[in-house]
A and B are shown apart, each in its own frame.
Chain A
């Protein structure tokens, strides 16, 4: 009972719905295309469907299924239907590694897609490198570790996000009515979060914002009471939290129990739904690459993807069904793979990689290039804020929706 059978079944069920959706959205007569046919192109990959990374991986899975159907609704890959062979790496890098080996050497998939999160991605990257497979990934937060030259990032982190992104934040802070002069940097010891936290500390000091307190806690920390007490005592103008998952919620709740609301608070990679919906999450800032708003909604396919994602997430019984940067990362991955295959007009990994290096791809993240160090192009990491329990991009200003601006406290 393998996953790909499920994809085919759902495909039949949803074709009708998708057709109706297309017609409604485009308000034009549906163009009949020839459906892809022939031997399927098998794309293999793993996601952390169980284990501690499962909450985000499920979002990736929905987005991937969505994209595969979308691609098959067009031309497939070179006229052949795409089949996504998805396995569960259980949030474990060694399992990810062995499963990618199975996909490549036993199942003999034609192409691969990257898994979710830094550790599994690096484990998979080693395998991809050994067999010369091109690998696109969307969630590795430490670009300098992407040393395999046929690996491509689908998310515009830029080659040095620990230097570029803090400056984006500091630029934003400078425009506030009362620019923050002191900062508390708190981070989980998860590699990608800690990496960015160290960057934030460094850049803050360079730009004259005093780091009152720099604290690291182990990922999986249960009790934030003492940490909250220290944060409250420091009482800085700006609180920067290198958090993942629910750590932001836990911290904010702990602060609320001490009757303390941080003046301005930023969270790095929290689970977006819980933070936006939390009573303590109002005006929280967070990193993002895209939100379902203008100017992003006008990007090709965005409206359709947002609607489809919402529908599928609801069906899958997820509590938070709005499309977000994580889902878009996966969408971007498939857009890049499709572009690479079509651009190189081949399923050969080397050809695809060569084409990607020389060209740019229009994804929902905008135009993504791969010409910088570690195949990373320009950084495009943005800042969003919780306003009325929804995430709104607020910085840089050109990416904020009309009428939306940063609400300083």
Chain B
């Protein structure tokens, strides 16, 4: 049986890794839950942002937080354009899957044409920085990521629940016609939401550039687990997305600490299946 230190460290590592899942899930959950559009290009946008952060950082020596200030608004704009397309053609949920998938493929090809398929690593002095708390090590970058993800999730949740705009969005998501009768301009709100989702992808991308090594094929590695996080956290629920991400990250990590790491997906996804079967009506 593994030691308490090992388990504790694995738990910390898993929760922090889950922060990344949650951050990626945030934007996807919003557009899926509130716009009824399944945006597979979310991952490709995140990676585009990551590659841009890398490029600005290595070729022009721009610090990540400055490049984020350029990249994230650019992503927001892309989100607006994407939504314009969906709106103009009145795309339904299933069709959005096909369109965003194709868009993701196009982005992947564009990334590979410019940056090649070879690995790119944005080296910074703080990539492996960590500090010690008792017997445990807490990696700094991942912690910051989780704090940012938490702030974004909390902020979005408050925004959706407390502000007029947020409530209007949720109303429109439930029944656009009735909401319109109450003066809710669904169109404008939908644009805002789409841009926001893309902006979140941009923020995720900044962290991906800092934490992970980039290759175009990596765009698809997060798809399965983030989908799971979005659904288990309930669509359109930002806090749910974050919590679910951390739950899945933690269960994966603990499983790897106790069993052979190759068995980890069985454990985390069995936990998922169990949650679904016994009580999906939470959060």
**Among B43-51, B94-102, B156-164, B212-220, which stretch is in contact with chain A?**
B212-220
Q: Taking the complex as formed, is A282 at the interface, i.e. its CB lies under 8 A from any CB of chain B? A: no
Digitize A215-243: 1 where CB-to-B-CB distance is under 8 Å, 0 elsewhere: 11110111101111110010000000000
Contact assessment for B261 and A50 in the assembled complex, using a CB-CB cutoff below 8 Å: no
Closest Cβ of chain B: how far from A202's Cβ, in Å? 18
| Chain A residue with Cβ nearest B261 | A217
B256 within 8 A of A: yes
A225 near B10 with CB under 8 A, answer: yes
Instruction: Give A42 to B127 CA distance when docked, in angstroms.
Output: 48
Q: How far is the CB of A83 from chain B (nearest CB, A)?
A: 24
Instruction: Assess A226 versus B13: contact at CB under 8 Å? Given A246-B119, A259-B130.
Output: yes
Assuming the contacts A226-B13, A229-B13, A257-B137, asked whether A271 and B256 have C-beta atoms less than 8 A apart, the reply is no
Is the beta-carbon distance between A271 and B119 smaller than 8 angstroms? Answer: yes
Q: Which of B118, B130, B139, B260 contacts A320 (CB 8 A)?
A: B118
Complex Cα spacing A215 to B258, Å: 11
Check if B17 sits within 8 Å of A225, measured CB to CB: yes
Report the interface size class on chain A: 35 or more
Q: Is the CB of B213 within 8 A of A274?
A: yes
Chain B residues numbered 244-283 whose CB sits less than 8 Å from any CB in chain A: 249, 252-254, 256-257, 260-262, 264-265
Q: With an 8 A cutoff between CB atoms, is B14 at the interface? A: yes
CB pair B265–A279 under 8 Å, yes or no, is no
Q: Are B117 and A55 in contact (CB under 8 A)?
A: yes
Q: How long is the Cα–Cα vector from A316 to B117 in the complex, in angstroms?
A: 11
Q: By the criterion CB–CB under 8 Å, are B217 and A50 in contact?
A: yes
Which of B16, B130, B249, B260 has a CB less than 8 Å from the CB of A216? B260
CA distance A230 to B260 in the complex (A): 11
Q: Please tell me the number of chain B residues within 8 Å of chain A, measured between CB atoms.
A: 45
Question: Smallest Cβ distance from A287 to chain B, in angstroms?
Answer: 19
Supposing A220-B221, A257-B130, A274-B121 touch, asked if A226 and B215 sit within 8 A by C-beta, the answer is: no
Is the CB of B178 closer than 8 A to any CB of chain A?
A: no
Per-residue CB contact flags for chain B residues 68-102 toward chain A (1 = under 8 Å, else 0) read 00000000000000000000000000000000000
Chain A residues within 8 Å of B262, by CB:
189, 216-218
Complex: how many Å from CA A218 to CA B3? 23
Indicate if the CB atoms of A230 and B2 lie closer than 8 Å. yes
Q: Which of B10, B129, B225 has the most CB of A within 10 A?
A: B10
In the complex, residue of chain A having the shortest beta-carbon distance to the beta carbon of B15: A225
23 A-B residue pairs with Cβ-Cβ distance under 8 Å, sorted by A, are A50-B216, A50-B217, A52-B215, A54-B215, A54-B216, A55-B117, A55-B119, A215-B261, A217-B264, A222-B17, A223-B17, A225-B253, A226-B10, A226-B254, A226-B261, A227-B261, A233-B3, A253-B128, A256-B128, A258-B9, A259-B130, A273-B118, A318-B118
